[in-house]
Structure 1
């Protein structure tokens, strides 16, 4: 199996149902996968750039796991990109990430129907991903077909029925991600 690195950009995993379930399921099924939980590693947004770059160098496959926030990544993950994906490391004549596979794995509150040209957001999910595709190409990363978890809306954490339904959906999603990583 390849060296797989998952970078979790969820801003608060301990209070997440979906993203926490996804990561826990992957970790239990594929114990050799390295998972970097940015919210736990950098609660004060002080990113250890050499450590993050070392993790990326180790990886053959890089997975960015996050909830879609305002049609992009959460703030900490954006800061991570800005500080870690530097000239000479991620791009430029001495770039070191060229040829590694990149897989986006993210959750949305909206449904798949919402992310259609005739849906509530009036754009396909692929249109929202253009910046990711261009960034991957710019860094020489091999873009993989993203895995999208639709319908992970906000729920009342005291509603046991809703929590269990969310966990079941997240486990199903995690198994799709695991299949893609095998």
Structure 2
């Protein structure tokens, strides 16, 4: 029986970081730390995707609050300027399109831009939601529900959403 995870044991550092660097948005430092962990362990370190996901989550959770804030700020707005400009990562493009955010009317787009601006102004990072399987209405409800939160509550929620996104991206590998 072929073990699909065994291929990771044969990756060089650049290929490994290229692949796993996409899991946490524009945050190669997570993949770099994962590579160092892998290098410290014998082959077969990644026995399953759950192990990889837990290792990456632990790397993020053990980082400083400043690193976590940078990670949050690395995420694009939902239906925001990067989406309009076509500069989202392949993963973000797919996730947002799956939620129908690439099909916004001008009015919907203006509404999302205003929500994004208000949220960012209050918290200092973008509204982050794991949108895979969500609808525009659910995303709008998320803005409405979460924008009144205090900073720490929303920081924690955003980090939780980042980990959900990472889980979806790992599952797609």
Q: TM-score range by the shorter chain?
A: under 0.3
Higher strand share: 1
TM-score between both structures, scaled by the size of structure 1: 0.24
